[in-house]
Amino acid sequence: MAPENSKGQYPPSDEYRETAFIKSAEEFNTLYEESIRDPAAYWAEQAENLDWYSKDWKEVFTWDKKENRFTWFKGGKLNASYNCLDRHVKNGKKNVAAIIFQGENDDHVRVYTYGRLLYEVERFANVLKSMGVKKGDRVSVYLPMIPELTITMLACARIGAVHSVVFAAFGAESLYNRVVDCTPKVIVTSDGNYHAGKTINMKAKVDEILEKGTTIEHVVVVRRTGIETDMKEGRDVWWHEEVAAVPLNCDPVPMDAEDPLFILYTSGTTGKPKGLLHTTGGYLLGAYTSFRNVFNYRPGQIFWCTADIGWITGHTSTVYGPLALGATALMFEGVPTYPGRDRYWQVAEKWGVDIFYTAPTAIRTIRQSGDEWVKKHDLSSLKMLASAGEPIDPDVWRWYHRVIGGGRCPISDTWWQTETGGPMIAPMTGAFDLKPGSAMKPLLGIQAAIYDEEKNICAPGESGNLYIESPPPSFARTIWNDHKKFVETYWTAFPGHYLTGDNARMDEDGDYWLLGRIDDVISVAGHRLGAAEIEAALISHPAVAEAAAVPMFDDIKGEAIYAYVTVKDGFNGTEELKRQLVDHVRTTVGPIATPKVIHFAPGLPKTRSGKIMRRILRKVAEGCRKEEIGDTTTLTDPGIVDTLIATRML
């Protein structure tokens, strides 16, 4: 890529431009105008890239704005696992690598060709069937980043079961909440997982939730670590024993485009995580199209997204996007800093990674370790870089570009959410002069807009609420069990427009700059955590009366958790209690929710209706002075603010 131009932007090199699907801003503008003049026509044309049993949809897109129900390609029939596997096997890719698995331990390597992956998926689909799993049934998946995770997802898709993956680092309480909500028949887990040199027992957490009572009848356990594992007769079975006992072939079930593909939970403003429901046709089409357009993937390239599959980024960018396209995806089990702080670069060099996709938090961690860790490796195979999960700071962007990308690789800063299913705003790297820190423009077929509180379009430079104007195919259709909440959360602020929950502004060139969340979501290292979930964990400790969690600035994680805690009478806010609370949150929600600060407070600022004023708590956590806090007159006890400022924890 040519160096930075006089405007501080980064135009693509001619060499890169050549390989891109869209090669100039003019070409993009023309295609974009066309795509939004008639989005249904645009998406119907894209739908030709999938393999359908039938394209008998009456209408491409329907949208009932009163009920907030929408459909894409309803009546069309396809199968996601067929699209991700069989069709590539039939098209000469039987012996092309689909997944390159790199375990945490450097010699744990498995390569699955499309042919082998199909074989594994068919066998496991038969295992699920043998357990009585039918079309529409839910299957919970609580697995580390190992190929069995992808195999389970595709096996579900093959027989029409709905997978619900829970991030492996979530604790028992978080797992329980996600499992009871979607009432699965089966859970697929592993004995344990490897994390930064430690072996963690996963099955024990599953046992813990099963004791509380769930709908789960069968537990399939992958032997990953070989640790001592309690297996309950009649309920728990080993993966390797089951797959050896079933027939090899399993035909894919034709699904309606609107049949559910998966449920994925995400944290929101209220205590209960929301199960976003994604459907077969629309989601898969979105994954395919965005993967092709954003990454300019070319056959033979190795694509590596470091996100865990427990998050939407992993669903779309490690499983469905690459496999729908017939690409080769690296699947990595480890962490960026173990055994050395060059682990990512060692892996990228080892496998000759072409496209590397990670989160700003990882880049910040790696940058902090110093350039010499990167310089030890030959990263000349890299062609492009990408980022997702949080705003990427321009300085960090430039470091990523210069040190990781060798000044040669364009960076796509992709903005999206669990709800959107796939990227919505991202630069076309072969066409745009890139601006560090900006996600730039909505993708083809996507319309975004920024409105102020009065629902006027914000002028360039003004910040406001980011909306997506009409739901594209990849959007979640509802919240599992709670359509009312779906409507309230996303479609009520401005009926007919999807509220993203993010602040943004547009610059003079019409490029988008994302500014962070407007709600009570804390983004720790790019992982969305609900303040309410952390608070619920704190409050469940016997010493805690009340708790409020807010984000605080953290130069590595972007945001960290600052927790205010009022203790019950008879308890004292000691260092020992602090340690206990931190441990308690780690085991209930998971290590990613570890509070950075516990601030013992005599009380919390509340409105008369009893709502905790998080705005004020955020400001105190940020270190604001009294004058900067704003109006406190609506509080029942305004004096509490002075106390909190005086006792603020640094």
Q: Which three-class secondary structure state does DSSP give residue 341?
A: coil
Q: 64, exposed or middle or buried, with CB in 10 Å at 0-12, 13-18, 19+?
A: exposed
Contact between 511 and ligand 7RM per CB under 6 A = no
Least spacing, CB of residue 393 vs ligand 7RM, in Å: 11
Contact between 321 and ligand 7RM per CB under 6 A = no
Other CB atoms within 10 Å distance of the CB of residue 76: 23
Q: Is the dihedral of CA 327, 397, 523, 525 positive or negative?
A: positive
Phi, psi of 44 (to 5 degrees): -65, -35
Least spacing, CB of residue 352 vs ligand 7RM, in Å: 26
User: Do 140 and 164 form a contact (C-beta atoms < 8 A)?
Assistant: yes
Least spacing, CB of residue 563 vs ligand 7RM, in Å: 21
Least spacing, CB of residue 264 vs ligand 7RM, in Å: 9
Instruction: Please say which residue, 79 or 266, places its beta carbon nearer to ligand 7RM.
Output: 266
Instruction: Please say which residue, 41 or 518, places its beta carbon nearer to ligand 7RM.
Output: 518
Instruction: Please say which residue, 272 or 541, places its beta carbon nearer to ligand 7RM.
Output: 272
Closest CA to 507 of 446, 440, 449: 440
Interface pick for ligand 7RM out of 160, 336, 422, 501 (rule CB under 6 A) = 501
Contact between 174 and ligand 7RM per CB under 6 A = no
What amino acid occupies position 342? D
Interface of this chain with ligand 7RM, residues 381 to 400, rule: CB under 6 A: 388-391
Instruction: Please say which residue, 71 or 358, places its beta carbon nearer to ligand 7RM.
Output: 358
Contact between 312 and ligand 7RM per CB under 6 A = yes
Phi, psi of 265 (to 5 degrees): -85, 145
Residue with tokens 């997978």: 163
Contact between 421 and ligand 7RM per CB under 6 A = no
Site string for ligand 7RM, 230-269 (x = CB under 6 A): ------------------------------------x---
Interface of this chain with ligand 7RM, residues 568 to 597, rule: CB under 6 A: none
Contact between 502 and ligand 7RM per CB under 6 A = yes
User: Do 34 and 52 form a contact (C-beta atoms < 8 A)?
Assistant: no
Q: What share of the chain is helix, strand, coil (3-state, %, to 5)?
A: 35, 25, 40
Interface pick for ligand 7RM out of 89, 98, 514, 549 (rule CB under 6 A) = 514
Interface of this chain with ligand 7RM, residues 436 to 475, rule: CB under 6 A: 439
Contact between 528 and ligand 7RM per CB under 6 A = yes
Cα separation, 613 vs 607, whole angstroms: 7
Closest CA to 578 of 649, 517, 507, 514: 649
Least spacing, CB of residue 490 vs ligand 7RM, in Å: 12
Instruction: Please say which residue, 531 or 577, places its beta carbon nearer to ligand 7RM.
Output: 531
User: Do 506 and 513 form a contact (C-beta atoms < 8 A)?
Assistant: yes
Beta strands in 302-377 (DSSP E): 302-305, 328-332, 355-358
Contact between 280 and ligand 7RM per CB under 6 A = no
Structure-token pair, residue 541: 């400790």
Cα separation, 403 vs 29, whole angstroms: 31
Instruction: Please say which residue, 342 or 413, places its beta carbon nearer to ligand 7RM.
Output: 413
Instruction: Please say which residue, 275 or 391, places its beta carbon nearer to ligand 7RM.
Output: 391
Structure-token pair, residue 392: 């990427």
Largest Cα–Cα separation, the chain:
72
Which stretches of the chain bind ligand 7RM, using CB under 6 A? 266, 311-313, 388-391, 413-418, 439, 500-502, 514, 517, 526, 528
